[in-house]
Chains A and B, each alone.
Chain A
Amino acid sequence: MTNKARKKILQNIQRALNRTELSVGQQQTLRETIYYSKKNNEFITGNLQMLFTEKATKAHAIVNTCSLTSVPSYILQILKNEKLPFIIRAASDLPIHWRDYPELRVHEGKALISDAVSVTSSLCGVAETGTLVLLSSRASPSTLYFLPIIHIILLDKQKIVPYYEDAIEMVRELHLDPRMIHFITGPSRTADIEQSLQIGMHGPKQLYVLLI
């Protein structure tokens, strides 16, 4: 069915466009001009970290600066404030020595429904809208970003870029080819009941950004 449909749909489009299939040469020209053309127009001025923080905060993320060594104590503080047990689900690619904090139980691997808190890193931040860019990998599975109630994301201050395009450029330059790229801006939300904005629907109810 699908092959017949494929042929028919492509034929219908070509008939409407009043031409046949593009020649190999035409296809190559299109690829070269479209896929490798220049960036979109630029519109951002000013300090990227300030803009990122302003936009992320507006989207209800909690943004704080923190040194890498004090990340565990920062996490413990959040758990205390939220009256949660000292258990987290962390990505296995974080440059943190959890062993120095024996009171914190750290699980790795994919998230489970029972997980309350996850800790992950991010590839970069996008100043344009205060967006964090996270990739899926074995070390940092996508479920970490959506199942827990609280998601804590580490972001290297040096890795705040102005535009979405820059984030994709970074993925390419690092020769990464992730299955999923997630743009995350603030915690999950809905306004489906009476247009009233409610923070925390199916994804995390709280999103912490730690600028390292």
Chain B
Amino acid sequence: MQLFTSNEFKDNAKAALQNPILQQALNNIRHGFVEKRAQAIAKMPHYDEVRNQAIQIKNHTLKYLDFYLQEFETQVVASGGHVHWAENANDACQEVIGIANRIKAKLITKSKSMVTEEIGLNAALEQSGFDVVETDLGEYIIQLRNESPSHIVAPAIHLLKEQITKTFYEAHTSLNPNRKLDNIEQLLNEARFILRDLFTKADIGITGANCLIAENGTCVMVTNEGNGDLTQTLARVHIVIASIEKIVPTYRDAFSILRLLPRSATGQDITSYVSFSKGPKREHDLDGPEEFHVILIDDGRSKLIDSEFQDILRCIRCGACLNHCPVYQAVGGQAYGTPYPGPMGAVISPSLFGLEKTKDLPNASTFCGRCEEVCPMKIHLPTMMRYYRNQEFKKKLTPRWHRGIKLWAYFAKRPKLYHWWASKLINILGRFGEKKGRFSYLPFASEWTNFRDFPAPAKKTFQQQLKKGKTRDQQSA
């Protein structure tokens, strides 16, 4: 199992805010993903239509998920592939290790897959003695740096090119140490050169899937770099790892999702490559894997069906909610301490890993609502985070002082007492702040006053002023 640091979110976030390199890197999100998505959606007049269609498809599929999973399985087997089922992360890793041991694998190449991050596959494979190489450029970089991804679409978005240059000099020791590596193109060429060889030497190629098509047992993968196809075509054995909610009934349904996914993710109409793979190499084929396996992972998803969190199973992992979230934009993905950061992560992470391990995440939101607005699958993310906040309070997972809200509630339910107390407090604060009109320090509120002044209130409460008929409007009139 992965080690998550979600319960250190507050410390992680503080460190992130004070990291100038990270802050510079995070700035790229606003000019990249956010603007490009807006342009792509603006050029798609039928966006809402496709969106509603995709939502219907996902809802329908969830309603008959058992049926479609079995249909998919039948079709994969008919085309010569194998289907493995895994209830949890550990079982899924064991299935992969079982295949790797059987074929005496040494080198395993991987294309980007969030579900393999979720189940901690790389660590499990390495512990069993296999060499694992990530081939997506961003994943490759963070693998070399021994970091976790900071974004579900662009895993190395938290880094600047100078940091990557340094990483490459340190990692690629077989290359000339005096070579030039000061622009992005040189970095790309070097990664291409190093990984090229590994694709052909790999015993197993592992990919994720964006959709699994039930009608004919096809796995769909979207990529831009071409690494996913080299991974699955050149290795001896291809293993697709996907969670059960990736199923769609037909090709047509997959296309509805494909019309939304790249536009919401990177602002592209479509990615460079969309690959539909089915079964192993045929008798006379000149390339392709000898074995084709699909591992279907539940890992906590089936229990979300028919719960208040069911709609999160519609998530297509586009990352739009991350890109538009003011909290994500400020602290980056690693602060969240799980593979799924941002608003989708604030719902998925507690759902899969348990609220106890991730209790800060549903609170890492200002509830501005942009995540829900840009979500192509219209998932009510703030509502679900609110459910989790409620659960936390009920389970007494919130810090003690948060329960001070009960004290406030006591007063709020007694208007007379509330007004009396509020007028005293406001009066004191107003007198103290009278001179400057603001506070640069307040006890118990240093989190605020360390970064900005707190405006001083008027000496009388609104109610008091209203009673005397001296509202500001009247004064100025």
Contacts and interface: CB of A to CB of B under 8 A. Distances in A.
Contacts of B86: 2, 5
A99 interface: no
Task: Give the secondary structure class of A's interface.
Answer: loop
Nearest to B279: A179
B79 to A, nearest CB: 8
A138 B45 contact: no
A9 B32 contact: no
Contact of B87 (A9, A136, A168, A196): A9
Interface in B83-113: 84-87, 91, 94-95
Contacts of A6: 85
A185 B266 CA distance: 15
Given A2-B84, A17-B305, A195-B33, A203 B225 contact: yes
Contact of A146 (B154, B159, B226, B255): B226
B250 A9 contact: no
A179 B282 contact: yes
Nearest to A7: B85
A9 B244 contact: yes
A179 B305 contact: no
Interface stretch (B7-15, B269-277, B375-383): B269-277
A3 B85 CA distance: 7
B272 A196 contact: no
Given A143-B234, A195-B157, A201-B137, A190 B255 contact: no
B473 interface: no
Interface in A1-57: 1-3, 5-6, 8-10, 12-14, 16-18, 21-22, 27, 30-31, 34-35, 37, 39-41, 43, 55
Interface string A51-72: 0000100110000000000000
A5 B84 CA distance: 9
Given A179-B277, A198-B188, A147 B230 contact: yes
Contacts of B159: 193-194
B298 interface: yes
Q: Point out which of A6, A9, A184, A200 has the most chain B C-beta atoms below 10 A from its C-beta.
A: A9
Contact of A14 (B66, B84, B137, B279): B66
A166 to B, nearest CB: 10
- The size bracket of the interface on B is 35 or more
B287 A22 contact: no
A179 B163 CA distance: 41
A198 B185 contact: yes
A18 B70 CA distance: 18
Contacts of B273: 182-185, 188, 203
A48 to B, nearest CB: 16
Contacts of B141: 192-193
A192 B137 CA distance: 6
Interface string B140-170: 0100000000000011110111001000000
A185 B272 contact: yes
A201 B65 CA distance: 37
Contacts of B230: 146-147, 202-203
A6 B84 CA distance: 8
A159 interface: no
A187 interface: yes
B285 A16 contact: no
Contacts of B307: 16
Given A179-B281, A188-B272, A200-B188, A18 B226 contact: no
Given A113-B197, A193-B161, A201 B274 contact: no
A30 B67 contact: yes
A1 B29 contact: no
B85 A192 contact: no
Interface in B35-72: 45-46, 49-50, 53, 60, 63-67, 69-71
Contacts of A110: 286-287
B202 to A, nearest CB: 13
Interface in A186-212: 186-196, 198, 200-204
B87 to A, nearest CB: 5
A133 B284 CA distance: 22
Contacts of A182: 229, 273-276
A179 B138 contact: no
A193 B165 CA distance: 11
Given A129-B270, A142-B287, A41 B255 contact: no
B225 A202 contact: yes
A113 B196 contact: yes
B355 to A, nearest CB: 19
Contacts of B157: 192, 195
B372 interface: no
A180 B266 contact: no
A27 B153 CA distance: 36
B153 to A, nearest CB: 9
A201 B272 CA distance: 11
A34 to B, nearest CB: 5
Given A17-B65, A178-B278, 11 more contacts: A1-B95, A2-B85, A9-B244, A22-B67, A34-B250, A35-B250, A110-B286, A145-B229, A192-B157, A195-B29, A196-B184
29 contacts: A2-B84, A2-B95, A9-B244, A9-B298, A10-B66, A12-B303, A14-B66, A16-B302, A34-B249, A59-B269, A59-B272, A111-B287, A113-B197, A128-B269, A141-B288, A146-B233, A163-B255, A165-B251, A178-B278, A179-B282, A180-B278, A190-B138, A190-B225, A192-B136, A193-B184, A200-B192, A202-B192, A202-B226, A203-B273
